[in-house]
């Protein structure tokens, strides 16, 4: 596994829409392993492939230590409630902002085994899913922040 470089705000790649993953290759699995290592090394709870310069629809989220969730071609299929909380981003270092996100979300995605599955999350996990999936469409949390803090 390798630690990858995390792109910072201002890099054009962060504003591009990612492409769907059609086939899970060994290269894709290596990327996922590297993303998990990079996220953990940076003390993050989520990382999207565009943040490491790869425009593919892949996200890793880990809000419970030792239990990373890998989402390939994820889509939010249900959401409920509202939460306003402070967010940060590995690609926007030194800043935080208050965002309004759903309190509960359900995501449909493909796993590393190529099989489709659904996962639901609330509070921090729901926020992490929304935040990381936004990256796949070239969006940053600062675009929707209610308030920003330095």
For the chain, helix, strand, coil in percent to 5 are 25, 35, 35
User: What's the confidence (pLDDT) of residue 2?
Assistant: 87
Domains plus CATH for the chain? Answer: 12-149 (3.90.45.10)
Question: How many beta carbons lie within 10 A of that of residue 120, not counting itself?
Answer: 14
Q: 150 falls in which pLDDT band (50, 70, 90)?
A: confident
User: What's the confidence (pLDDT) of residue 1?
Assistant: 73
List pLDDT tens digits, range 83-139. Answer: 999 999 999 999 999 999 999 999 999 999 999 999 999 999 999 999 999 999 999
Active-site position among 65, 132, 144, 147: 132
Of residues 58, 68, 75, the one with CA closest to residue 125:
68
Kindly report the average pLDDT of the chain as a whole number.
97
Task: Reply yes or no on whether 132 is catalytic.
Answer: yes
When pLDDT is averaged across residues 56-68 and rounded to a whole number, the result is: 97
């Amino acid at each position: 596994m390798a630690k990858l470089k995390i792109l910072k705000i201002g890099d054009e790649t962060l504003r591009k829409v990612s492409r769907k993953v059609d086939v899970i290759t060994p290269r894709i699995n290596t990327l996922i392993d590297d993303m998990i290592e990079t996220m953990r090394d940076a003390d993050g709870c989520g990382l999207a492939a565009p943040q490491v310069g790869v425009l593919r629809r892949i996200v890793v989220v880990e809000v419970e230590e030792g239990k990373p969730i890998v989402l390939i071609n994820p889509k939010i299929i249900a959401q409920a409630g509202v939460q306003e909380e402070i967010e940060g981003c590995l690609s926007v270092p030194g800043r935080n902002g208050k965002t309004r996100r759903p309190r509960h979300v359900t995501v449909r995605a493909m796993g590393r085994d190529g099989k489709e599955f659904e996962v639901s999350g609330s509070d921090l996990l729901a926020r992490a899913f929304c935040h990381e999936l936004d990256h796949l469409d070239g969006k940053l949390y600062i675009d929707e922040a209610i308030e920003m803090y330095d």
